[in-house]
């Protein structure tokens, strides 16, 4: 009896130790993940914070981290920088009125009537006085300078037109591979998957020569849109995997009711596959939003047709010293993709997993 009780106590001791160990592990691992995430997302925070600074602050390594402006003081009709001036009586915040190499004259903003104060030392070594101030105005300024409305319109039209095309073509193709038997089906499917690892460069030169020289479509969106009207291997693969999970009985029932193949596909299969179709549409949208190489070569010489990617790159080249505007433009360009991702992440993540590991 006593022995049994002792055993129970030992067990609870063991249990307590185990729980304590688990709690420690939880805290340790979660803290580690938090630190890692902080470092991983640090550039994003940097981008947001710096996009709200003045140009002067963004270029000053000793400036405070939060968006601020250097304080100035209006003295007898002129603006002077307020600096941190060390004196025997501690650090004063005085406005620098007359600069000299060894000695300068300041005025105390709190008591301008006292007149100029002489100070010995090199004013260049003095730090300015910063007060927090957020430059929201950088955003409309970046938006207008880069003409973001036009870039956005170009990108959206491109994304939606090609999205409709590629989703229709890919789902037809996927249905063909999922449900029908035809000669060389496996070989054709292998070729389709093989196009994933084919470098686009190998088809690019003749395609470019044909579109630009023969058809004269240089500077237009047509060479970028038309090839995407024929589906793409990733989309076909994802949709095929999804179609394979839809029970055949539903189609057979529809066919007994007299529906043709196309009717069955449109009214039975597609409504069942809405999650997969959404995932494919989203993937395509992000692809189009990021597409760079195609627009770079085909739209060369027609700046009005630029999408966001090329527009941002040109903006970066022209305004490279305006860090705050470049970062504001970069952040404007990521708002829509990030918003869509946060809203639709479940469908999205499932789609990636299917293309990557699905059996």
CB of 20 to another protein, least distance (A): 13
Nearer to another protein, 126 or 192 (CB): 192
Binders of another protein in range 254-283 (CB under 8 A): 261, 265
CB of 327 closer than 8 Å to CB of 51: yes
**Residue 331 CB, nearest distance to another protein (Å)?**
7
Binder to another protein among 77, 199, 258, 301 (CB under 8 A)? Answer: 199
Interface of this chain with another protein, residues 202 to 221, rule: CB under 8 A: 202-210, 212-213
* Structure tokens given for 178: 């999922």
- Tell me the sheet residues that pair with 92: 85
Selected range binding another protein among 91-99, 113-121, 135-143, 328-336, rule: CB under 8 A: 328-336
Is the CB of 10 or the CB of 168 nearer to another protein? Answer: 168
Helix, strand or coil, per DSSP, at residue 348: helix
Residues 94-133 that bind another protein (CB under 8 A): none
CB of 222 to another protein, least distance (A): 13
CB 198 within 8 A of CB 234: no
Q: 232 — phi, psi (to 5°)?
A: -150, 150
Work out how close the CB of 137 gets to another protein at its nearest, in angstroms, rounded to a whole number: 19
Structure tokens at 278: 């959404």
Site string for another protein, 287-326 (x = CB under 8 A): --xx-xx--xx--x-------xx--xx--xx-----x--x
End-to-end CA distance of the chain: 56
Per-residue binding string, another protein, 221-260, x by CB under 8 A, is ------x-xxx----xx-----------------------
Distance CA 24, CA 198 (A): 49
Inter-residue contact 282 to 349 (CB < 8 Å): no
Q: How far is the CB of 309 from another protein (least distance, A)?
A: 5
The maximal CA–CA distance of the chain, rounded, in angstroms, is 101
Shortest gap between Cβ of 206 and another protein (angstroms)?
4
DSSP string, 48-84: HHHTTS-HHHHT-TTS-SS-EEE-EEEETTEEEEEEE
Alpha carbon distance 89, 77 (integer Å)? 29
Identify residues 23-42 at the interface with another protein (CB under 8 A). 25-26, 28-30, 32-33, 36-37, 39-42
Told to check if 158 binds another protein by CB under 8 A, we report no
Shortest distance, CB of residue 75 to another protein, whole angstroms? 31
Across the chain, where does the E strand assignment appear? 68-70, 72-75, 78-87, 90-98, 103-107, 117-120, 130-132
Residue 163 beta carbon to another protein: minimum distance, rounded to whole angstroms: 15
- Residue 104 φ then ψ, to 5°: -130, 165
> Which one-letter DSSP state was computed for residue 301?
T
Alpha carbon distance 79, 128 (integer Å) = 14
Among 127, 189, 259, 278, contact with another protein (rule: CB under 8 A):
189
According to CB under 8 A, which one of 188, 225, 259, 347 is a site residue for another protein? 188
| Residue 185 touching another protein (CB under 8 A) | yes
Q: Which of 69, 82, 192, 273 binds another protein (CB under 8 A)?
A: 192
């Amino acid at each position: 009896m006593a022995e049994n009780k002792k055993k129970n106590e030992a067990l609870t001791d063991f249990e307590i130790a185990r729980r304590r160990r688990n709690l420690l592990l939880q805290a340790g691992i979660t803290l580690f993940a938090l630190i890692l995430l902080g470092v991983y997302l640090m550039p994003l925070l940097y981008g947001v914070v710096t996009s709200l600074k003045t140009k002067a602050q963004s270029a000053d390594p000793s400036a405070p981290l939060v968006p601020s402006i250097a304080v100035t003081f209006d003295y007898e009709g002129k603006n002077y920088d307020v600096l941190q001036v060390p004196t025997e009586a501690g650090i004063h915040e005085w406005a620098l009125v007359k600069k000299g190499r060894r000695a300068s004259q300041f005025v105390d903003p709190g008591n301008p009537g006292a007149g100029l104060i002489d100070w010995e030392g090199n004013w260049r070594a003095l730090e300015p006085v910063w007060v927090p101030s957020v430059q929201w105005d950088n955003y409309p300024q970046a938006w207008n300078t880069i003409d973001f409305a036009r870039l956005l319109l170009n990108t959206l039209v491109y994304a939606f037109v090609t999205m409709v095309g590629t989703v229709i073509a890919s789902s037809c193709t996927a249905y063909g591979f999922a449900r029908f038997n035809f000669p060389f089906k496996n070989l054709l499917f292998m070729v389709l998957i093989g196009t994933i690892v084919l470098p686009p460069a190998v088809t690019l030169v003749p395609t470019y020569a044909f579109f630009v020289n023969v058809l004269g479509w240089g500077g237009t969106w047509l060479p970028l849109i038309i090839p995407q009207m024929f589906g793409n291997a990733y989309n076909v693969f994802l949709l095929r995997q999804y179609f394979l999970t839809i029970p055949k009985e539903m189609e057979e029932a529809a066919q007994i009711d007299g529906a043709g193949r196309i009717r069955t596909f449109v009214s039975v299969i597609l409504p069942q596959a809405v999650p997969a179709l959404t995932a494919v549409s989203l993937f395509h949208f992000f692809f189009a939003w990021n597409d760079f190489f195609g627009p770079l070569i085909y739209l060369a010489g027609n700046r009005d047709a630029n999408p966001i990617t090329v527009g941002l790159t040109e903006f970066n080249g022209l305004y490279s010293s305006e860090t705050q505007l470049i970062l504001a433009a970069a952040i404007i360009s990521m708002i829509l993709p990030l918003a869509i991702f946060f809203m639709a992440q479940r469908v999205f993540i499932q789609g990636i997993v299917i293309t990557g590991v699905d059996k």
